[in-house]
Amino acid sequence: MMRRIPKWAAISLIVVGGIGLALNFSDLKISGAQIDRTAAIAPDHIQQAGSSAASSAVVVDSAAVKGTDRLQEIRKRWEFKSGALKNLSLSSVDNVHIEVKTDTTTDYVELRGVVSEEAAERATSAVGESDGLALDLTGSTKFSLLSIGSTQHDVYMTLGLRDAKQLEKADFLLGSGAGDFDDFYARQLQVDLSSGELTANRLSGDQISLDLTSGRVEVKDLIGESQIELSSGMVQIDGLEGNSVIKATSGMVDLTQKTSGNLDVEISSGKADIRAAKDFKGVYDLHVTSGLVQAPESPGTSGDTIKVRATSGIITIK
């Protein structure tokens, strides 16, 4: 038998829900704000890396966050000696866009975007080290009874480097947002997303690690020894160079080798479409427990190996 809730409880739920709806409409409006990724950075927002005095990051009276006191627009620049920037670490729950410029005489990191108050405070207090920068732009999880639209905002990071290949280590922990890279190199590169989308024109390095719980990886060129792990979703690589290990619990792996190399793919359920490099002269080692394998004969008997294992699904080699 269904019981009626008291009238006062119903009214309370309506009031609280209305407040939640208003707050989320405010966030929805702000999430669509246009951030000028080329906007000038004021002198008092320029940080000399390693200095004990912190420079401000918050843009006062920002039109992008007008009408809210829970989000802030930030602009800040960290400057390093030429060739000194070697290490970079970024944690964020928003949509992060990464760009690298090499037409500079001074190494720098520029940050622009809309973030939580907590993240803005962390950006202000981050002074950096002489050889790198670690930024934590995560904020407290916001509770809402009703969510409309995306709660992620856009953060733009621009790196100025004397040498495009000077970064030794770069770590990106991007939570449930998205990672968008243009052409990015680090000798050791790691990108972690709990859910979301990772897109890149070109990722390169000696050791590359991409780890997603769920979502999509879409990279045009992936160059270097790589390891990719995905619980569910899709991995698409248009040009793979170097040995690679790919593990997916469920979903689809779609990749094209640009040059011959060892490839080890393991998928529990789903589909693996692989186009071997034109110079591949090695062995196909393919097995599916329940499903279908479509592949030509191995072009050789030794050398590089394309190994694919699937519990259930389809393996296709072209």
Residue 243: inside a domain: yes
Q: Who has greater pLDDT, 279 or 55?
A: 279
Mean of all residue pLDDT scores within the chain: 87
pTM: 0.85
Are 223 and 307 part of one and the same domain?
A: yes
User: Can you name the residues that pair with 108 across neighbouring β-strands?
Assistant: 79, 160
> Residue 22: pLDDT above 60?
no
> Residue 184: pLDDT above 50?
yes
DSSP, residue by residue, 146-210: ---S----EEEEEEE-SSTT---EEEEE-TTSEEEEEEEE-SEEEEEEEEEEEEEEEEEEEEEEE
- The model's pLDDT over 254-307, given as tens digits with 9 standing for 90+, comes to 999 999 999 999 999 999 999 999 999 999 999 999 999 999 999 998 899 999
Are 154 and 226 part of one and the same domain?
A: no
- The model's pLDDT over 58-117, given as tens digits with 9 standing for 90+, comes to 887 676 676 565 889 999 999 999 999 999 999 999 999 999 999 888 999 999 999 999
Domain around 255: 187-318
Task: Give the C-alpha separation, 310 to 44, whole Å.
Answer: 56
Total number of domains in the chain: 2
Instruction: Give the confidence band of 149 by pLDDT, cuts at 50, 70, 90.
Output: very low
Q: 165, 200, 219: which is the final residue of a domain?
A: 165
Are 47 and 94 part of one and the same domain?
A: yes
Of the ranges 8-12, 160-164, 230-234, 304-308, which one carries the lowest mean pLDDT score? 8-12
- The model's pLDDT over 127-140, given as tens digits with 9 standing for 90+, comes to 999 999 999 999 76
Are 249 and 121 part of one and the same domain?
A: no
Are 222 and 303 part of one and the same domain?
A: yes
> Residue 172: pLDDT above 60?
yes
